[in-house]
Structure 1
């Protein structure tokens, strides 16, 4: 049989007909999901702060999602505040905690809003993929909240109890931070860097650290990157060029 060697290899991963059929069903279903958002960035030039901001807001995609979800049900300043919270949860929480008198009520309200955004950005992925992206500390809780609804009369009390308990146990702030980071992650499926991480900017090393930890990224090196690589490798000509650029 012509394809016997391939079938033998496949049999190691899928030893039974049931295993093979399950995988075929899974893959066929995935092909019919919406394509994940691909984010293309180029000419970063070592500007780490601008790069971080673009990564956090997904070049405006998160803002658009918030607008699509809440529309006229939230005022403009509320939508902007929600977006800022998603981009910079730690910093924004400090500001909000200093002004909100009824912080526990605010926690409950904002958790519901964040869950709506998270549900929206994760809806194009399989449950398995979402589950793998979840923070370990809140994995089970987020799974439950994403797949249950306050609109379901049979589960309304269940969902409310989870949210209330997150707040009463003092875990609301940590939960908000983690789900905000999850929203950032699920908004961008693949990140493509098209050249020039390095140049005059002071933070190329910070950018590289971020990229090393990023969940799905590929890089096409640019001419400036090659000069810096050459300088790091000891090329005197490249070192001279790098010094010239940075002066």
Structure 2
């Protein structure tokens, strides 16, 4: 991936394609910014919006005949043509088809050369430029006009193509993570900082059974089975048959899936959902046992179940169970899979390893992604750099030596890559276990909480047991001095460095704001995911470094689409040229 003066940062897409496409159509806000920056003194907002919409429509159209303007547009074709032409000239957009189109009309070539080289003419008011071009524009046939306008728009979009940084969590509950990954395949300049939902899928594609169970469970919980079956070719028929047999007399009420389904379909999926959840807890128990360094014994809860009393001990307290039907639980060996469960798990593993499309998408995450990234003056990582209650970088006994801060990030990334590269190798090193730790391990740098309370949320009513506890990082990150220590630890020496995180939704409606520590930290999870929008009141954030400024946009949901509103804007000072050594 190459460095680019146009930088875009988004995070926590959670499989929501409509917001992603809305932003991609606008070059992630850069087109929106350019039009307002260039024409706001000459044109009103409705005219600027119409130019933006027309440019998008021109780019989408396969040919000029499909690119006709809506008659209700707020701009006439002379204004549209001039605006597109002026942006092409001033952004120095070049394209072979554009060059051919301009040369075809001598008057246009003359104006293009004049605007490109004459400083006085380039300052000509927009209205005069419209008048200058209008007479010639009117001589164009409709076909020629739209062919030219389309050439302008496509050259402009190509010029405005940014360096796109996704700060984690392409995957999760949304149904379109597959489609987003397909979009990313076609973009030339993309980097991904892994989120904890991403590493679950990366671990699953590495053959980690616990990660596979988590990925399947989430798809069943949120009704995204099409992504598993249609898109990745993962067939759940063995799981379905097992669930029907083991839980055939169970209404599985605690496992009712989200979404608009009929009663029969809900019950069918609920049984599968419960079946894979119990398999997940058993597989996690095995992983915790072989990884004492993860310090996750508090997550071993199957052995704390008292079936006779229908209770479970969580910590020092005993709680009634919301569901006490465990037909496959062996009280003597609670983490042992039944033979039928083992066959389900092994079947899923073979399918995950054999999925060509899943491998293709995980290759993208591994090749274009990592735990962190520095680009220009920006430092990007999904969740946190774990610290203890004193604000010191928290040590983890994961490697032969204790790792913390940068060494923790390095170790986790190396182990993730080893696990994927060795996914077909039979050994007892279990390198892909690190993916599961990053997903839910205590204070993992991609999770940033003390525990993941999945079991309690299914089986215990007391919401006190559902609390997960954020890492101290989140209490300290509004302090510029703390952020400077973090930047130094992650090998960023610039005093201009700005940190970008996702992971934690910004509760905008409750007064939380995404910009902290005097503009040193941007927390940009703004609610791409529909379930979070009730808390954020938004549909996400998009952060730009473009056109000499930093701009953070709120994505506002409305009845039919979305809109962009400025949350934060700062002009950048030109950097002084470096002086060669004598």
**Normalised TM-score (structure 2):** 0.29
1:51-84 deviation per Cα after TM superposition (whole angstroms, max 9, x unaligned)? 1222333454333322222223223211121122
Q: Distance in 1 between matches of 2:113 and 2:171?
A: 42
Within a 5 Å distance, the mapping from 1:54-73 to structure 2 comes to: 54-73=23-42
- Kept in 1, the 8 Å contact 2:26–2:32? The answer is yes
Q: Distance in 2 between matches of 1:231 and 1:68?
A: 46
Structure 1: which 5+ residue stretches go unaligned?
1-34, 124-129
Over 3 Å counting, the alpha-carbon distance change for 1:63 and 1:169 in structure 2 is: closer
- Kept in 2, the 8 Å contact 1:114–1:180? The answer is yes
Over 3 Å counting, the alpha-carbon distance change for 1:222 and 1:73 in structure 2 is: same
Within a 5 Å distance, the mapping from 1:137-156 to structure 2 comes to: 137-141=97-101, 144=109, 146-149=112-115, 151=121
1:109 aligns with 2:75: no
Q: Tell me how many residue pairs correspond in the alignment.
A: 193
Over 3 Å counting, the alpha-carbon distance change for 1:214 and 1:162 in structure 2 is: farther
Structure 2: which 5+ residue stretches go unaligned?
104-108, 123-129, 222-582
Q: Distance in 1 between matches of 2:202 and 2:17?
A: 18
Q: Distance in 1 between matches of 2:177 and 2:148?
A: 31
How far does residue 161 in structure 1 lie from its aligned partner after superposition? 8.8
Q: Distance in 2 between matches of 1:224 and 1:179?
A: 40
Q: Which structure shows the bigger proportion of residues in strand conformation? A: 2
Q: Distance in 1 between matches of 2:214 and 2:78?
A: 55
Max radius of gyration: which structure?
Answer: 2
Partner in structure 2 of residue 77 of structure 1: 46
1:96-141 deviation per Cα after TM superposition (whole angstroms, max 9, x unaligned)? 14x47xxxx9434311111223334x25xxxxxx43xx2x433433
Q: Which structure shows the bigger proportion of residues in helix conformation? A: 1
How far does residue 160 in structure 1 lie from its aligned partner after superposition? 7.1
Q: Distance in 2 between matches of 1:117 and 1:58?
A: 14
- Kept in 1, the 8 Å contact 2:101–2:151? The answer is no
- Kept in 2, the 8 Å contact 1:86–1:183? The answer is no
Q: Cα RMSD over matched residues?
A: 3.6
Over 3 Å counting, the alpha-carbon distance change for 1:88 and 1:237 in structure 2 is: farther
More contact order relative to length (CA 8 Å, sep ≥ 6): 1
1:196-237 deviation per Cα after TM superposition (whole angstroms, max 9, x unaligned)? 211211222222222222132222222211211333444332
1:96 aligns with 2:81: no
1:29-58 deviation per Cα after TM superposition (whole angstroms, max 9, x unaligned)? xxxxxx722111221111111112223334
Over 3 Å counting, the alpha-carbon distance change for 1:164 and 1:94 in structure 2 is: closer
Over 3 Å counting, the alpha-carbon distance change for 1:197 and 1:175 in structure 2 is: farther
- Kept in 2, the 8 Å contact 1:39–1:192? The answer is yes
- Kept in 2, the 8 Å contact 1:41–1:194? The answer is yes
- Kept in 2, the 8 Å contact 1:148–1:159? The answer is no
Partner in structure 1 of residue 417 of structure 2: none
Q: Distance in 2 between matches of 1:142 and 1:191?
A: 31
Secondary structure at the counterpart of residue 40 of structure 1: strand
Secondary structure at the counterpart of residue 184 of structure 1: helix
Partner in structure 2 of residue 21 of structure 1: none
1:214 aligns with 2:200: no
How far does residue 146 in structure 1 lie from its aligned partner after superposition? 5.0
**Normalised TM-score (structure 1):** 0.62
